[in-house]
Structure 1
Amino acid sequence: MMIVSSVLDEKSGNGINNMADRGNMLPGHTETDNLNQNKDTVFFRDGVRRIDFVLSYVDDRDGEKKQERRKQFEANLLKAGLELETEDKSDSDDGKTYFLKVHAPWEVLATYADVLKIKVPFKASDMIHTQEVPLEWLSRPFRLPERVMRPEPDYFTSPFDKGKIDFFLINDKETFFPPSTRNRIVYYILARCPYYKEDRKEKDKKGIKRLLSNGTYTAAFPLHDCRYWKRARNTECESERYNLYRHWAGFLSFYKEQPLNLIRKYYGEKIGIYFAWLGFYTEMLFFAAVMGVICFTYGVLSYDDNISSKEICDADIGGSIVMCPLCDKKCSYWKLNSTCLSSWQSHLFDNEGTVFFAIFMGIWVTLFLEFWKRRQARLEYEWDLVDLEEEQQQLMIRPEFEIKCTGRRLNRITQEMEPYLPATSKCARFCLSGATVLFWMSLIVACIIGVIAYRLAVFAAFASIMKDSPTRKIQLLGSLITPQLATSVTASCINFVIIMILNFFYERVAIWITDLEIPKTHLEYENKLTMKMFFFQFVNYYSSCFYVAFFKGKFVGHPGDYTYMFGWSKLRNEECDPGGCLIELTTQLVIVMVGKQLWGNIQEALLPLMRNWWGSRKARNHPEQQYSRWEQDHDLLNFTQLGLFYEYLEMVIQFGFITLFVASFPLAPLLALCNNILEVRVDAWKFTTQFRRPVAAKARNIGAWQEILNVVAILSVVTNAFIMAFTSDMIPRLVYLYANHDSHEASMSGYVNNSLSVYNISQIPLYSQPEEGESPAWYNNQTITTCRYRDYRYPPGHPRQYAHTMQFWHILAAKLAFIIIMEHVVFVVKFFVAWMIPDVPSEVKARIKRERYLIQEYLHNYEVEKLKIQLSQSFTVDPPSHLRSSSEKCEVLSECL
Structure 2
Amino acid sequence: MSSWTPVPCQCCYTSCIQSLVAIQLRYPAKAETKRWLISKLEGHKKEGGAHLLVHPGEDDDGTLILLSATPYTLLKATEVLGLAKPSSDGSMVAFSYNNKADFPNSDKPEAFLTLAERQLLVKYATDSAKVLQETPVPGYPERRLYPGQSIVQSLQEWGIIEKFYPLHVEEELHLLTRAWYSQIHRIGQPIDAIRAYFGDSVALYFSFLGFFTISLVPMAILGAVYHCLSLSFLDKYLLFAVFSVLWSTMTMEFWKRHCATKAYVWGTLHLKSRFEAPRARYWGPSALNPVTGRWEPYYPSWKRKLRIMLVSIPTVFVFLGLAFDGMIMYLYWERWVQASYQQSRGSGRLAAVCLYLPSCIYTLYIELLNVIYKRAATILTEWENHRAESTFQNQLTVKVLVFRFINCFSGLFYITFYMQDLQLLQKRLSSLLIISQVINQFKECLLPLLLQKLQQQPGASHRKNCKDAPVVDSFVSEGNLSAYPGLFDDYMELFVQFGYASLFSCVYPLTAALLVVNNITEIWTDSFKLCRLFQKPFPCPAANIGVWQVAFEVLGIFAVGTNCFIITISPEVKEFCQDFGMTPEQSLLYAIGLEHILVTLKIVLAFAIPDQPHWLRIKVMQMEYHSWDALKQAEIKRALPIC
Q: Provide Cα deviations, 1:5-49, integer angstroms capped at 9, x if missing partner.
A: 5xxxxxxxxxxxxxx99xxxxxxxxxxxxxxxxxxxxxx9x9612
* Aligned match for 1:179, one of 90, 115, 118: 115
Task: Specify the alignment match of 2:591 in structure 1.
Answer: 819
> Take 2:463 and 2:179, find their aligned partners in 1: how far apart are those partners?
26
- In the TM superposition, residue 708 of structure 1 has moved relative to its aligned partner by 0.8
| Secondary structure of 1:100 counterpart | strand
Equivalent residue for 1:252?
184
Please give the alpha-carbon distance, in whole angstroms, between the structure 2 residues aligned to 1:78 and 1:198: 20
Q: 1:637 aligned to 2:482?
A: yes
Q: Displacement, 1:636?
A: 3.6
**Deviation of residue 714 (structure 1)?**
0.6
Which residue identity is paired with 1:179? L
Paired with 2:602 and 2:109, the residues of 1 have a C-alpha distance of 51
Change (3 A) 1:377 1:175: closer
Task: Say if 1:857 and 1:352 are closer, same or farther in 2 by CA, change over 3 A.
Answer: closer
What amino acid sits opposite 2:558 in the alignment?
Answer: L
2:374, 2:400 within 8 Å by CA — same for their partners in 1? yes
Once residues 418 and 210 of structure 1 are traced to their aligned partners in structure 2, the CA distance between those partners, rounded to angstroms, is 12
Measure the CA separation in 2 of the matches of 1:843 and 1:418: 46
Give 1:626 deviation, angstroms. Answer: 1.0
1:388 matched to 2:320: no
Task: Map residues 451-850 of structure 1 onto 2, 5 A cutoff.
Answer: 451-464=330-343, 466-467=344-345, 474=347, 477=348, 486-487=354-355, 489-552=356-419, 581-613=421-453, 614-616=456-458, 623-626=466-469, 628=471, 629-640=474-485, 643-726=486-569, 728-739=570-581, 810-850=582-622
Give CA-to-partner distance per residue, 1:774-813, whole Å, 9 cap, x none. Answer: xxxxxxxxxxxxxxxxxxxxxxxxxxxxxxxxxxxx5422
Q: Secondary structure at the match of 2:135?
A: coil
| SS of corresponding position for 1:615 | coil
Alignment equivalent of 1:353, drawn from 236, 248, 261 = 236
1:567 aligns with none
Amino acid at match of 1:624: K
Q: How many angstroms does 1:194 deviate by?
A: 5.6
Deviates more, 1:108-117 or 1:523-532: 108-117
Q: Distance in 2 between matches of 1:436 and 1:192?
A: 37
Q: Is the 8 A contact 1:514 1:525 kept in 2?
A: yes
Q: For residues 518 and 589 of structure 1, what CA distance do their matches in structure 2 show?
A: 39
> How far 1:281 moved relative to its partner?
1.1
- Say if 1:426 and 1:217 are closer, same or farther in 2 by CA, change over 3 A: closer
2:375 and 2:154 map into 1 onto residues whose CA distance is 19
Q: Render the CA deviation track for 1:656-708: whole Å, top value 9, x for unaligned.
A: 11111112101101111121222223222332333332211111211111111
The alpha-carbon deviation at position 462 of structure 1 amounts to 4.3
**Which deviations, in whole Å up to 9, do the C-alpha atoms of 1:800-830 show, x marking residues without a partner?**
xxxxxxxxxx542244123213212211221
- Report the Cα distance in structure 2 between the residues aligned to 1:862 and 1:398, rounded to whole angstroms: 33
Post-superposition CA distance 1:40-84 (Å, at most 9, x none): xxxx9x961221211224534xx76xx665554334223322332
**1:664 alignment partner, SS class:** coil
Question: Counterpart in 1 of 2:320?
Answer: 441
> One-letter code of the match for 2:620?
I
Q: Which amino acid aligns with 2:575?
A: R
Cα distance in 1 between the residues matched to 2:620 and 2:286 = 42
Supply the distance in 2 between the matched residues of 1:841 and 1:621 (Cα, whole angstroms).
44
- Structure 1 residues 529 and 372, CA gap change in structure 2 (3 angstroms): same
One-letter amino acid of the counterpart of residue 113, structure 1:
T
User: Partner letter of residue 469 of structure 2?
Assistant: Q
- What one-letter code is carried by the residue in structure 1 that aligns with 2:200? E
User: 1:284 aligned to 2:284?
Assistant: no
> Would the aligned equivalents of 2:84 and 2:268 in 1 still touch at CA under 8 Å?
no
What is the aligned-residue RMSD (CA, Å)? 3.7
1:84 aligns with 2:54: yes
Q: Residues 673, 114 of structure 1: CA spacing in aligned structure 2 closer, same or farther, 3 A cutoff?
A: same
User: 2: CA distance between counterparts of 1:674 and 1:362?
Assistant: 22
**Deviation at residue 121 of structure 1 after TM alignment:** 4.5
Contact 2:133 2:146 in 1 (8 A): no
Query: Does 2:254 match 1:371?
Result: yes
Q: In the alignment, does 2:66 pair up with 1:101?
A: yes
Bigger drift between 102-111 and 837-846 goes to 102-111
Q: Write the letter of the residue equivalent to 2:121.
A: I
Count of matched residue positions in the alignment of Structure 1 and Structure 2: 617
Contact 2:22 2:164 in 1 (8 A): yes
Matches within 5 A, 1:116-515: 116-125=81-90, 156-161=92-97, 163=98, 168-169=103-104, 170-172=106-108, 176-191=112-127, 193=129, 198-200=134-136, 201-203=144-146, 206-212=150-156, 214-226=158-170, 232=171, 239=172, 241-250=173-182, 252-254=184-186, 256-299=187-230, 352-389=235-272, 392-394=273-275, 396-400=276-280, 403-404=283-284, 406-411=286-291, 421-431=299-309, 432-464=311-343, 466-467=344-345, 474=347, 477=348, 486-487=354-355, 489-515=356-382
* 3-state SS in 1 of match to 2:411: helix
Distance 2:523 2:109 in 1: 36
Shift of 1:372: 1.3
Q: CA deviation at 1:293?
A: 1.9
Distance 1:461 1:295 in 2: 32
Q: Alignment partner of 1:609: what SS?
A: helix
Deviation at 1:533, TM superposition (A): 1.0
SS at match of 2:580: helix
**Structure 1 residues 682 and 705, CA gap change in structure 2 (3 angstroms):** same
Instruction: Report the AA paired with residue 458 of structure 2.
Output: S
- How far apart, CA to CA, are the structure 1 residues paired with 2:506 and 2:250? 18
Is the CA contact (8 Å cut-off) linking 2:437 and 2:518 kept in structure 1? yes
CA contact (8 A) 1:365 1:713 kept: yes
Q: Deviations over 1:172-225 (max 9, x none)?
A: 356544332222122234445469995345349855455445543332211112
- Secondary structure (helix, strand or coil) at the match of 1:294 reads helix
- Structure 1 SS opposite 2:280: helix
SS of 1:220's partner is strand
Q: Is the 8 A contact 2:146 2:295 kept in 1?
A: no
d(CA) in 1 for partners of 2:32 and 2:152?
15
How much does 1:620 deviate? 7.0
Secondary structure of the structure 1 residue equivalent to 2:93: strand
Q: Which has the higher helix share?
A: 2
Paired AA for residue 608 in structure 1: P
Q: Closer, same or farther in 2 for the Cα pair 1:861/1:407, shift >3 Å?
A: closer
- CA distance in 1 between partners of 2:133 and 2:54 (Å): 19
On the 8 A contact 2:84/2:92 being kept in 1, the answer is: no
Q: Distance in 2 between matches of 1:699 and 1:710?
A: 19
Shift of 1:427: 1.9
Mind listing any 5+ residue stretches in structure 2 that lack a counterpart?
8-12, 44-48, 137-143
CA contact (8 A) 2:134 2:145 kept: no
1:838-858, Cα deviation, whole Å (9 max, x unpaired): 222221111222344455667
- Letter of the structure 1 residue corresponding to residue 405 of structure 2: F
Residue 467 of structure 1 deviates from its aligned partner by 4.2
Q: 1:378 to 1:622 in 2, by over 3 A?
A: closer
Aligned to 1:805: none
* Residues 817 and 352 of structure 1, relative CA distance in 2, 3 Å threshold: farther
Give the drift of 1:585. Answer: 0.9
Q: Could you say what secondary structure the match of 1:518 adopts?
A: coil
